[in-house]
Amino acid sequence: MIRLGVNIDHVATLREARRIAEPDPSWAVVLAELGGADQITLHLREDRRHIRDEDLAKILRIASVPVNLEMAITEEMLRIATAARPHCATLVPEKRQEVTTEGGLAVAGQETAVGEAVAALNEAGISVGLFVDPDPEQLEASAACGAHAVELHTGTYCAAVGAAAVAVELGRLQSAAVRAAELGLAVHAGHGLNVRNVAPVARISQVEELNIGHALIGRAVFLGLQAAVAEMKEILKVEAARR
Ligand code: PXP
């Protein structure tokens, strides 16, 4: 079975569109769990454009599944994470102007800084994944940093147009999953996944966890969040059985 991490950031995006108290992303935690979420994922961004510090604290109190904090490697975020102690953290690059995370973390060439962040989080009992492009150089550097997992960036695969381009990007993800597992890294994947493109990724046998946000929250507008999560879980169950 593949774990499904439900990223609830965009419930907070909707709240921030009005800068009022609703909808509260913690409500999404309960419904995602009822739909079968194995993990709640949230990204506390430097600019606090969606999730706020108080959301993280509240969600850590109420979630009955593990909480995965996506975070940039900054002193502030390391201080917040080591104090809050989520179950796991995924280190991501962050640029203020971006609409969403663009590209994976450049681990290669930054092994010292990334390794120190991994060590500080591990020290606080937090297991650490690195969000990286499906590139062998990044995988090797991730293993060298002592990360527990890599989350393979599926955004380029999801954005590929035409069967040939999709096949090339899927091939990169498949090869990266094999290489990451050889390096002893747990393999996660995410970004841009939805009910139409998730199946081939879910069929990659090394993939243990997918983190999905925007498409689930978008679908929840029409189906409800519990149903949208349950629908995705069912797809993952079917595809994992076909591995
Ligand atoms: N994984 C990581 C590391 C991310 O930064 C994001 C976006 O916050 C996601 C997964 C989820 O991406 P999406 O919202 O496109 O499903």
pLDDT given for residue 96 in this prediction: 67
Whether 7 is in the pocket of ligand 1, judged by its Cβ within 6 Å, is yes
Alpha helices in the chain (DSSP H): 9-16, 25-35, 53-62, 75-84, 111-123, 136-144, 155-159, 163-182, 198-202, 214-223, 225-241
Q: What percentage of the chain has pLDDT greater than the value 70?
A: 99
pLDDT given for residue 103 in this prediction: 87
Q: Which residues contact 224 (CB under 8 A, 6 or more apart)?
A: 31
Whether 151 is in the pocket of ligand 1, judged by its Cβ within 6 Å, is yes
Catalytic residue flag (residue 209): no
Pick from 49, 70, 107, 201 the residue to mutate for probing ligand 1's pocket: most ligand atoms within 8 Å of its CB.
Answer: 70
Strands 127-132 and 149-153: parallel
Catalytic residue flag (residue 46): no
The one catalytic residue in 10, 33, 50, 70 is: 70
Among the listed residues 107, 101, 96, the one whose alpha carbon sits nearest the alpha carbon of residue 214: 101
For residue 21, the CA-to-ligand 1 centroid distance in Å is: 24
Rounded Cα gap, residues 221 and 208, in angstroms: 28
For residue 183, the CA-to-ligand 1 centroid distance in Å is: 24
Q: What percentage of the chain has pLDDT greater than the value 90?
A: 95
Whether 68 is in the pocket of ligand 1, judged by its Cβ within 6 Å, is no
pLDDT at 143 over 90: yes
Q: What is the mean pLDDT of residues 176-205?
A: 98
Whether 5 is in the pocket of ligand 1, judged by its Cβ within 6 Å, is no
Among the listed residues 129, 148, 106, 139, the one whose alpha carbon sits nearest the alpha carbon of residue 211: 129
Rounded Cα gap, residues 108 and 156, in angstroms: 19
For residue 243, the CA-to-ligand 1 centroid distance in Å is: 24
The one catalytic residue in 50, 151, 191, 209 is: 191
Q: What is the mean pLDDT of residues 116-137?
A: 98
For residue 10, the CA-to-ligand 1 centroid distance in Å is: 10
Catalytic residue flag (residue 50): no
pLDDT tens, position by position, 52-105: 999 999 999 999 999 999 999 999 999 999 999 999 999 999 876 777 777 899
For residue 177, the CA-to-ligand 1 centroid distance in Å is: 18
Pick from 11, 191, 198, 210 the residue to mutate for probing ligand 1's pocket: most ligand atoms within 8 Å of its CB.
Answer: 191
Confidence class for position 1, pLDDT limits 50, 70, 90: confident
Q: Which residues contact 62 (CB under 8 A, 6 or more apart)?
A: 26, 29, 30
Rounded Cα gap, residues 63 and 40, in angstroms: 8
Residue nearest to atom 5 of ligand 1 (CA): 101
Q: What is the mean pLDDT of residues 203-226?
A: 98
Write down the CATH superfamily of domain 3-241.
Aldolase class I (3.20.20.70)
